[in-house]
Amino acid sequence: MSSKIAAQMYTIRDFTKTEKDLSESLVKLHRIGYPAVQASAVGAMDGDSPAVTTSLFRSMMDDNGIRCIATHRSWESLANKTDKEIEFHHQIGCNFAAIGGLPSSYTKDGLEGYSRFVNDAVPVIAKLKTAGIQFGVHNHDHEFERLGANRRWPHSVLLEDGGTDLKLEIDLYWVHHAGVNPIRRMAECKGRTPVIHIKDMEVVLGKAPDTAAVGEGNMDWESLLPACKNAGVEWYAVEQDSCRRDPFDCLRSSFEFLRSKGI
């Protein structure tokens, strides 16, 4: 059975700032067993004259039997430089573009801002779709703040008003952190979650709960993983915002746990 586990490269952002580091990081991910990555916070690819071009990145991935199944890109670039973004994704062989969250120009206006984003996104999503690229929005916990007279979640504006072409890159940790039942939310988002973010929540004495390798915290994976499968998840992108030990070791632990569960 082929694995559907990807490494979210934000986890190893401190190890992708140079061409050498990026190359070595992909080798490490290959040795762990990851067949795919999400390209996010890859410093060596930043700027107008990046140290690593799209063609070089594609070559590095090919050399390690790794594919790019998703990205995190800026909404400004996706909206205003859509053709350039399409070219970028085609060159790295990726068919899913996501944003890490809505810009503050939208979120500052509460539910109205989310509704405005949904409308603004329609032509961008359509253009990406024509090029064979899906578009998704990643969540944190603030999308589940109850707002307005009806106490509605901003995340529900995306789900209910955004249309089926607006995908939801659910981050299970942040749904759980917000006090929302992630199993129920996955069911409500069925068919809209081709790529999700997956990490665990660990309790440490004297500190606030923090992110942990999957299987090393308190999230209910025995129930969560079947719920993800039922919702139509295609890729499980392992991400840790912070690691209390070597992030590659955390990625290894998460990978081995998920493989033991048949992912």
Amino acid at 203: V
Which pLDDT belongs to residue 1?
55
Closest by Cα among 176, 173, 140, 183 to 158:
140
How many helices (DSSP H) and strands (DSSP E) are in the chain?
Answer: 11, 10
Above 80 in pLDDT, residue 2?
A: no
Would you say residue 241 has pLDDT above 70? yes
Q: Is 27 a residue whose pLDDT tops 70?
A: yes
Q: Looking at 69-78, 136-145, 177-186, 201-210, which range is the least confident one?
A: 201-210
Q: Is the pLDDT assigned to residue 59 strictly greater than 80?
A: yes
Amino acid at 219: M
231: pLDDT confidence band, cut at 50, 70 and 90? Answer: very high
Q: From CA 205, how far away is CA 250, in angstroms rounded?
A: 20
User: Are 67 and 61 within 8 A, CB to CB?
Assistant: yes
When pLDDT is averaged across residues 208-236 and rounded to a whole number, the result is 97
Here the tokens at position 35 are: 């067949």
Q: What residue has token string 């594919």?
A: 67
Distance CA 114, CA 61 (A): 36
Q: Classify 69 as helix, strand or coil.
A: strand
- Structure tokens, 225: 């993983």
H or E element that contains 137: strand 134-138
- Predicted confidence (pLDDT) per residue in 98-113, tens digit: 999 999 999 999 999 9
Provide the terminal-to-terminal Cα distance of the chain, rounded to the nearest Å. 9
By three-state DSSP, how is residue 140 classified?
coil
Q: Write down the pLDDT at residue 40.
A: 98
Contacts 24+ apart (CB under 8 A), 225-229: 225/261, 225/263, 227/182, 227/183, 227/186, 227/187, 228/172, 228/186, 228/193, 228/196
Beta strands 200-202 and 210-212, pairing class? antiparallel
| DSSP H helices in 162-246 | 172-177, 182-188, 221-231
Q: Going from the N-terminus, what domains does the chain have, and what CATH number goes with each?
A: 5-260 (3.20.20.150)
CA angle 113, 195, 171 (to 5 degrees): 60
At 124, the amino acid letter reads V
Average pLDDT across the chain, whole number: 97
C-alpha 219/C-alpha 207 separation (Å) is: 18
> Model confidence over 149-162: pLDDT tens digits?
999 999 999 999 99
**pLDDT tens digit string along 62-86?**
999 999 999 999 999 999 999 999 9
Report, as an integer, the average pLDDT of 23-44. Answer: 98
Q: Give the pLDDT confidence score for residue 3 in this predicted structure.
A: 87
Supply 151's token pair.
Answer: 């106490």
- Tell me: pLDDT of 165 over 90: yes
pLDDT mean over 130-151: 98
Residue (of 178, 172, 227) closest to 198 by Cα position: 172
Tokens 């206006």 found at: 109
pTM: 0.97
